[in-house]
Structure 1
Amino acid sequence: MSIEGKLATMGITLPDAPAPAANYVPYVKVGDLVFVSGQISNDENGLITGKLGNDMDVEAGAAAARRCAINLLAQVKAACDGDLDRLVRVVKLTGFVNSTPDFTDQPKVVNGASDFLVEALGDAGRHSRSAVSAAALPLGVAVEIEGIFQIR
């Protein structure tokens, strides 16, 4: 089954790859690697904002991280000229969680992205990862995640 076919069975349709919000490109291809710029938490209703440990719980944060992963795949699809089946594997994610100084469950939040990618891609979705706290993120979003992907 194609990757987009698998996503469809999960009820996921990839959005158009989000345009960059400042002076950068959404992805850079180097050899067989695609470095995708940080994707912020948003969905069809707009930005997913909040601060973990204050006005957002881990479950909502993980859902926001999942949306970041969907946006990452949209960027990979764009980098692959519309053919997401060129994706070989997820190499690394770096997740930034908008959280209070005493919040320590950043890994549980970023699991929303990691779990989604493994569900969608199987072993090709398993990756190395960092999950760190941020005092604030652009536009007040809850989560931002960047990624490195291997393609054919």
Structure 2
Amino acid sequence: MESTKTTRTTVSPTAGDAVASPRLGQRSSCQQGSQGCAVHVTMHQKLEYGQVLKLVGSCKEMGQWQVEKANSMHWQEGDIWVATMQLAPGTYAFKAVVASSSGAMEPHWEAGFNRQLEVPEEAGRLNVVFQWESNSMTTTFFPGRQAQDNGG
């Protein structure tokens, strides 16, 4: 039986980090052809009808800091929002953004510093849980190809 690793991080400033705004000039950490990790993000947030949550950040999978290019998270019963993406090993910066499913409203960016996500070299599944504008984020890593394929 393979072990899991859980970490709890506190959002803190990094060089060039701006409160309540993305790092516009940051290069993507995505690496083509790398096996990477299945990243499953969960967030509890009550929104108004027609609004969606997006993870907007420093790689193609998160829209490269462009809200309109970022994929929407999926709503589940109980105001739980989830997203799953395949990411190459590396460090990613991101924020949660409330947007309109129709594009009719101005996006509302999560306040505070950019969140940092470390994707390990080892194949597996990384579960990420955080709350809107919270200073902490919990990540749990399930190593191995089977964890990645079976959802943990």
TM-score, normalised by the number of residues in structure 2: 0.29
Which structure shows the bigger proportion of residues in helix conformation? 1
User: TM-score, length-normalised on structure 1?
Assistant: 0.29
Higher strand share goes to which structure? 2
